[in-house]
Amino acid sequence: MLIVYFKFKFLRTNSEKYNKAALFLMKIFAVNFTMGVVTGIPMEFQFGTNWSKFSELTGGIIGQTLAMEGLFSFFLESSFLALFIFGEKLLGHKLHFVAGFLVFLGSWASGFFILATNAWMQHPVGYEILENGKYVLQNFSAIFDNPWLVPAFLHNQMASLVTSSFVVASIGAFYILSKKSEEYGKLFLKTGIIFGFIASNLVAFPTGDWNAKNVVKHQPASFAAMEGIFETEHGGAEIILVGQPNMLEKKLDNKIGVPNVLSFLTYQNWNTEVKGMNEFETEELPTNIPMLYYSYHIMVGLGTIFIAIMGLAILFLYRKTIYEYKTLLWVILFAAPFPYIANILGWYVAELGRQPYLVYGLLKTQEGISQTVSSGNTLFTLLGFMGLYALLGMLFLILVGQVIYKGPESKKI
Amino acid sequence: MAFPTFYAAVFSGFYLPLIMVLWLIIFRAISLEFRNKFDYQMWKDIWDKAFGISSLLLVLFFGMALGNIVRGVNLGGVENGVSTYEAHYFFLPLWNSSFSPLAENPGVIDWFTLLIGVVAVVTLSIHGSAWIILKTNSSINNQLKDVIHKLSFVLLVLTILSLAIWQIIKPNALYNFMDKPYLIVFPVFYFIGLFALIFSKKLKKDIYVFYASSLVILGGLTSSLASMFPVVLPSTNSINESLTIYNTSASNYGLSVALVWGTIGIILLVVYAIVQKRFMKGKIDDMEYGH
């Protein structure tokens, strides 16, 4: 999105600065894209390799959205990414912008189809279960009307925008602090802060809020676990800011909470009761409550810090003093990895929260595995992937670091 | 996933080879991406080798995969006349001690699948050479034409050999072609392509050589599938029936929906391909690209 913005600015202003900024970010995006593809293919495979029973039973439904993802978004994205990277001279600037826009469209459509799949697992709709246990598609459009889909999609996309804004702002801060390329540093910092400020607010409200309300409505047991409410509190629930779940005594240690706020946030009423974990059967509760609780709280905590950083930054940007305010630049420089952490934790919340189910309320996780694959084989491949991904992670950092070090003035691809 | 049962059975059954294919795909993709990131000869050499080796092994694996599909697997994991899994599931070891396709529980690698793997390597070496000749003015183009010429003889020998062995493993392997004679068109494609490759030095344009090797690939794959139809994965035991397109497909409603968006998607793909080809046509050396 930011790349398309820069290319658009270039077309409007005809200033070479914006064009170079767009191409520079595209280089970083290209490395990201490669990583995304190579680590994404195993995910498409694993539905069959590791979750074959799940695929056999639900393939008629999730197969639709997953295949649409490949056909409509992945091919769009990858076809035009090549043209965007290599084709500036061949295409001319207007078509080059179109290619960039199509890459953006492809990547967002990809997120949409993936989340349509996940939304169906979180809140299954439009299906029918046959006698042999198979799920067949009954209503195609219901999959895209799923109340879970739009909030989750927008939350996810805004979170991605927060991530890219922080990365762009962080690169900008680096160029200013290192006095390497101050012209681009200022451009990146400014753009990153503006987009980052808008996006980090939208992640929390309204999109995060919509999602939380969906969880209360459709997965109340998960909601209690992620908020850390062991006992139902009558007359309004407090919101937990800090505390460590103690699973043996079923309470929170070292708790700090603010009374009645959770009830207000959830139901817009200070006194509505929120169901605690004591009201659900143990089999209905998520299997790893502490992990779910921490994932959720760290995600929300980081999200709040992002708003604070970007809020402060935009204030100084408005007063035009940000470029001299070194402390804030250092904070922005080192903030870049944290949106990644928050994103991963957000997925932990979604996936751990759905446990013990694979398809919420219908199919348990343990019923979806590949029965013919032994645990020794999965351990073998897990170790292989861990080694390979560690290598990929290091190479990724080196390559992105090198692109940033060379700077936007560099001509090489 | 129009055939969820097939997908579920095959992907879990071929668990180990598929994961290895994934690792190879990853190496192949990152070699291509990373090679030119540092202007340093040793770095480039590493990724050139990684790309070459992973590509070679990948083709070998894909050929072996085709060999496995044609040969069939021990569906239901039958041991001593009793299924150990549900009838459509199986799990293949990488190999068994005899390396024989005739064993009760054949592995992924046996001498038949290995042969098909080699056939795939030879076929795609020809195809790759034809592509290089078509797209570049490189100094090795003349040598590559020799390579194509020699490899096409090798391919002819391998083809005859694998057909003979296939006939031994599966006595009625070619039944479909006798039952439905019009299916002969697929092997005919294959052999027209192959003979064109043998006489490739007489072909006037580089693109004809490329068409010929494309015809070999297309003809070879379609012939294999035509010989099996409607079976998609044969059973090597007599207890559990083979997987066919009928007993593995998704619901009719789901398939009809997918047909609609699938058609739209394929049309889009053709458009992308045309757009790309228009901008990337001609020999690479003559193109001006970059910024």
Distances (CA, A) of A308 to A156, A170, A191, A304: 20, 16, 17, 6
Substitution target from B1, B5, B270 for chain A, most A beta carbons within 10 A:
B1
Mean pLDDT of all residues in B109-113:
90
Distance from the Cα of B177 to chain A's closest Cα (Å) equals: 32
B194 — pLDDT class (breaks 50, 70, 90) = very high
CA B262 from centre of chain: 22
Q: What is the pLDDT of residues B244-273, one digit of tens each?
A: 888 888 877 888 888 888 888 888 888 888
ipTM above 0.90, yes or no: no
Question: What HEC string does B8-30 produce?
Answer: HHHHHHCHHHHHHHHHHHHHHHH
Distances (CA, A) of B107 to A92, B58, B91, B121, B183: 54, 18, 9, 20, 30
Write the CB contacts of B155 (distance below 8 Å, at least 6 apart in sequence): B119, B122, B123, B126, B194, B197, B216
Mean pLDDT of all residues in A132-153:
87
Angle ∠(B110,B113,B114) on CA atoms, nearest 5: 80
Query: Residues 5 to 34 of A: which have CB under 8 A from any B CB?
Result: 23, 30-31, 34
**Rounded distance between C-alpha atoms, residue B155 and residue B159, angstroms:** 6
Q: Tell me what pLDDT residue A31 has.
A: 82
Q: Tell me what pLDDT residue A382 has.
A: 92
Question: Looking at per-residue confidence, does B75 or A236 come out higher?
Answer: B75
Note whether B12 contacts A89, CB cutoff 8 Å: no
Q: Tell me what pLDDT residue A405 has.
A: 86
Query: Minimal Cα distance from A376: which residue of B?
Result: B16
HSE-up of B134 (CA within 13 Å, CB side)? 20
Q: Tell me what pLDDT residue B291 has.
A: 37
Distance from the Cα of A371 to chain B's closest Cα (Å) equals: 8
A126: left (phi over 0), alpha (psi -120 to 50) or beta: left
Mean pLDDT of all residues in A106-116:
89
Using an 8 Å CB-CB cutoff, list chain B residues near A60.
1, 4, 250-251, 254
Using an 8 Å CB-CB cutoff, list chain A residues near B87.
none
- Residue B285 confidence (pLDDT) above 70: no
CA B113 from centre of chain: 12
Identity of the residue in A61, A76, A373 whose CB atom sits nearest the CB atom of B15: A373
Q: Tokens 């903030």 appear where?
A: A335
Substitution target from B20, B23, B30, B88 for chain A, most A beta carbons within 10 A:
B30
Longest dimension (CA), chain B: 67
Mean pLDDT of all residues in A146-158:
91
- Residue A293 confidence (pLDDT) above 90: yes
A59-73, A112-126, A259-273, B3-17: which has the highest mean pLDDT?
A112-126
B289 — pLDDT class (breaks 50, 70, 90) = very low
Q: What is the pLDDT of residues B238-252, one digit of tens each?
A: 888 888 888 888 877
Average pLDDT, chain A: 86
Q: Tell me what pLDDT residue B286 has.
A: 63
Using an 8 Å CB-CB cutoff, list chain A residues near B34.
395, 399
Identity of the residue in B1, B30, B261 whose CB atom sits nearest the CB atom of A66: B1
Mean pLDDT of all residues in B85-106:
83
**Rounded distance between C-alpha atoms, residue A209 and residue A192, angstroms:** 24
Average pLDDT, chain B: 86
Cβ of A82 under 8 Å from any chain B Cβ? yes
Cβ of A265 under 8 Å from any chain B Cβ? no
Substitution target from B3, B6, B7, B15 for chain A, most A beta carbons within 10 A:
B15
Mean pLDDT of all residues in A140-168:
90
Domain boundaries, chain B: 4-250, 254-291
Note whether A89 contacts B11, CB cutoff 8 Å: no
Question: Looking at per-residue confidence, does B144 or B280 come out higher?
Answer: B144
Distance from the Cα of A7 to chain B's closest Cα (Å) equals: 14
Mean pLDDT of all residues in A215-242:
86
